[in-house]
Amino acid sequence: MSASTTVTKFTWNDMPKERVTNRIDRRIVTGESTMVAHVYLQKGAIVPEHSHHNEQLTYILKGKLRFWVGDDLSQVFDVAEGEVLRLPSNVPHKAEALEETLDVDIFSPPRQDWLDRTDDYFKDQ
């Protein structure tokens, strides 16, 4: 069976939890063309402004994130439990956790900078 036809099952709690900043952790599962991550944000955690060529879906399982999006970050979206925000490729955005938050981020294609740990736009707050 080739890698592209191998079925794999993952359990979130068995996946290693990576410390991204002093207020953000994540777990990652990646396939050939899609990546999904659990992102754990403490209240007040900031995801600094950045953009990427990957399309992104952010689904909030618990808590609430505020996103600023667009070239001048003038569009503001509060995304709460049960809501999904779609971010097209190359759209600048930043976020703040308004509450303790668990979100599911889905990327296509996978975020290479997350896989090789070169996502240096993250800073400790």
Domains and CATH numbers, the chain: 25-115 (2.60.120.10)
Which of residues 35 and 118 earns the better pLDDT score? Answer: 35
Sign of the torsion formed by the C-alpha atoms of 111, 124, 90 and 39: positive
Percent of the chain scored above 90 by pLDDT? Answer: 84
Q: Note the pTM of the prediction, 2 decimals.
A: 0.91
Instruction: Provide the mean pLDDT of the chain.
Output: 93
pLDDT digits (tens, 9 = 90+) for 39-98: 999 999 999 999 999 999 999 999 999 999 999 999 999 999 999 999 999 999 999 999
Strand partners, 51: none
Q: Does the CA dihedral 27-30-35-36 come out positive or negative? A: negative
Q: Is the pLDDT of residue 1 over 80?
A: no
Whole-number pLDDT of residue 5: 79
113 pLDDT higher than 90 = no
Give the DSSP H/E element, type plus range, for residue 24.
Answer: strand 24-30
Q: What percent of the chain has pLDDT over 70?
A: 94
Q: What is the pLDDT of residue 3?
A: 58
Asked if 97 and 81 count as a contact pair (C-beta separation under 8 A), the reply is: no
Please give the average per-residue pLDDT across 91-109, as a whole number: 97
